[in-house]
Structure formats: structure tokens, C-alpha cells
Amino acid sequence: MKFTLRLADGREIAASISEIASLTIDQPAALPAPTPAPEPVPAPAPVAPGLTAAEFLPALLACKGGEELTVRPGEVIPGYTVRDRIWKEPVTIIGRGAAFERPHYWGCEGIRHIGGTFFSPAEHEGVGGGGYALWLRDCRNTHVVGALVIDAVKGLIIGSCEDVEIEGCLFYNIRSDGINLGSVRRVRVAHNRFRDFAPLPTTCALKNGTVLDGLSRATCVAQGGTWRDGDHADAIQMFGTHVEDVLIEDNEIEGNMQSITYFNGAHPKVRGQRIRIRNNRVRSPRGWGISLQNCDDCEVTGNDVGRTAGGMAKVQINVSGSTGRFGSNVNPDAPSGHVTTTPLLEDSRP
């Protein structure tokens, strides 16, 4: 029996099984070994977009108005001062993931900071405002939104400014005040959190080396000691030759600090005007939850003020000498409970 075989060159032959077994089939020549593939070259790490620390300040000073500057995440901008820059169309600085060391803006208009961390290293304390995480002086139309303010003697210092907004920021590990508002007009402070401040205590160092906390100056001196005043921390403190049209609302304040205060002892004849303190939550171990004294056409409403866990001092609301709308506050330490402390005033306007 014959079988038909088709060869590789296309020819066909007829052969029996014994003939097929005797066939010699040529093997194809061996192929050369393939050239080894080159080692893969790692792709360069992607570079995040944005300005470096060295590029930031020159870029800011070159702005004409309306620009948006993004700082590269991970960059730390060293301390700087910008003076007398007027941007009628604001310049926006996007600093998410970057850090700014104690910037000062003096006599400026049209700054918007979005995100970023503001801080002041301890070695700069007491040197030209070096302990301030951010200093605004004689500024207009300035916004700080969504920032972390941390590790400073004081957080934001806002002096002789108008049209300022501080919104959605976290103030943490501050020694003294979170926000100072000195001689300001048209300021809004809203939706911020103030947590875990770290004020230094008042101390009395005795000659035998013992250091006591909390003694008055007179008691310390009477014992031959050296008295050192501690930090008087407030979340938000207002004072100055004029404090007008300020809105403080929807903030959360918790920790070792007084909360929202307007005392103005340095200017006892000056009265605040149209200060609104609304819908804030306060938990403090210190006496003043909210203090708004000698203020005209003002408001303290809808606030929830109480002690921190284990707090011993009564945390109250004080509106002595003020006129306006005061009520609907939750304040368990108030003499009559769950209302603003005395004097309880209603709207005194005509």
C-alpha cells in the first residue's frame, strides 16, 4: 500500500511504509541564537508640576495680577517678606503639599493662599515677628483657605487689615494665640478648627532650684523666686483702635486655650462695632469661652460652649457692656443654665 507524502518543497511522492521508514529527511540548519534583549532602562521619576522653593518668590514678585502660582508639593519656602505689592486682580498661590516658613505680607493687596502649611521654627521666636506663622500687616483683600497652621508661638497675625477671610484652616500645636485681629475691618473667620494648643505655664524658679507652676508674681517674689509669665493662649483674640464688621462663625475650638475674646484693655474707650460670633463649638478648660465686652450692635448666638473633659474652671460667655443680639447659646456653666451668662441682653436697637 502506498501513501502520498507532501514534501516541504511542494513535491508529492508515493511510498510504502517500508520506503517511508528508509527515507532520510534533511533537518533545517540551526538558527543563530537570538541577540539578548537590552536591560530595561528605568523611566525617570515623574516631576510634580509647580515652582521650586528657589523659583517661588521671584515668580510672585513678577506677577502683574490675576496669575495662579502652584508650588511643587514637598517644597519648603524659607522665610520671606513682601512689601507694598498691590494686585487689584488677586494672585492665587496654590500650596497644597508645600510649606511656608513665616511669610510676612506688609502693605499688600490681592493675595489668595490656598492650602499649604504655615509654620515658624522656634529659633526665630521674638525676632521681628519671627514666632508668627503668617503675618498680614496693612493688607487688603487677602484670603487664606484650607491651610495648616502649626508649630509657632502665634498662628496668624492680622493687623490694620481690611477685607480678609480665613476659612477651612487647622490651627495645631500653637503656643499662644491662633488668630490675632488687631485694628481690623470686614474680616470673616469661618469653618476653622483650633486643636491641642501648647501654652507654656507661668513659672516661679526658687533659689534652691525648684520650679513651681502657677504662682502669682507677688507670691513668687515673696518667696525669693524669679517669676516668668506663661502664655495666655486664645483661639481668636480681637483688640485695637477699631474692630469693626467681624464675622466669626462655624469654628470648632477644643484644647488648652481661651476661645473667642474681645477685651481691648489697651484702648478702654474704644468699643467694638458689629462683631458677630455665631454657631461656634467651644470646649475649653479655661474660663472664657466667649468674651465680647463693650461692643455695639453685636451678636453672640447659636454657640455651644462647655468644658473639656476633666476641666475644672467654669467656661462662660461674657457680653458685659455690649448691645445687640445675645441668646440661643448652649452654656451649661451659665448661672441660669443653657443661656448666655449675665448680663443677658436682648436686641437693644430701636
H-helix or E-strand containing 132? strand 132-137
Higher-confidence residue of 302 and 313: namely: 302
Q: Which pLDDT value is given to residue 316?
A: 87
Are 333 and 315 within 8 A, CB to CB?
Answer: yes
What confidence tens digit (pLDDT) does each residue in 78-116 have? 999 999 999 999 999 999 999 999 999 999 999 999 999
Q: What b/e string do you get for 320-343 counting C-beta neighbours within 10 Å, with b at 16 or more?
A: eebbbbbeebbbebbeeeebbbee
Are 184 and 152 within 8 A, CB to CB?
Answer: no
What is the pLDDT confidence band of residue 337, given thresholds at 50, 70 and 90?
A: very low
Mean pLDDT score of the chain: 86
Answer positive or negative: Cα dihedral of 129, 190, 315, 262.
Answer: positive
Residue-range domain boundaries for the chain: 50-176, 233-350
| Mean pLDDT calculated for residue range 321-348 | 64
Omega into 121 within 30° of 0, i.e. cis?
no
Please enumerate in sequence order all residues whose Cβ is within 8 A of that of 146, keeping only pairs 6 or more positions apart, or say none: 96, 114, 115, 167, 168, 169
Q: Which pLDDT value is given to residue 181?
A: 97
pTM over 0.95: no
Residue 340 confidence (pLDDT) above 60 = no
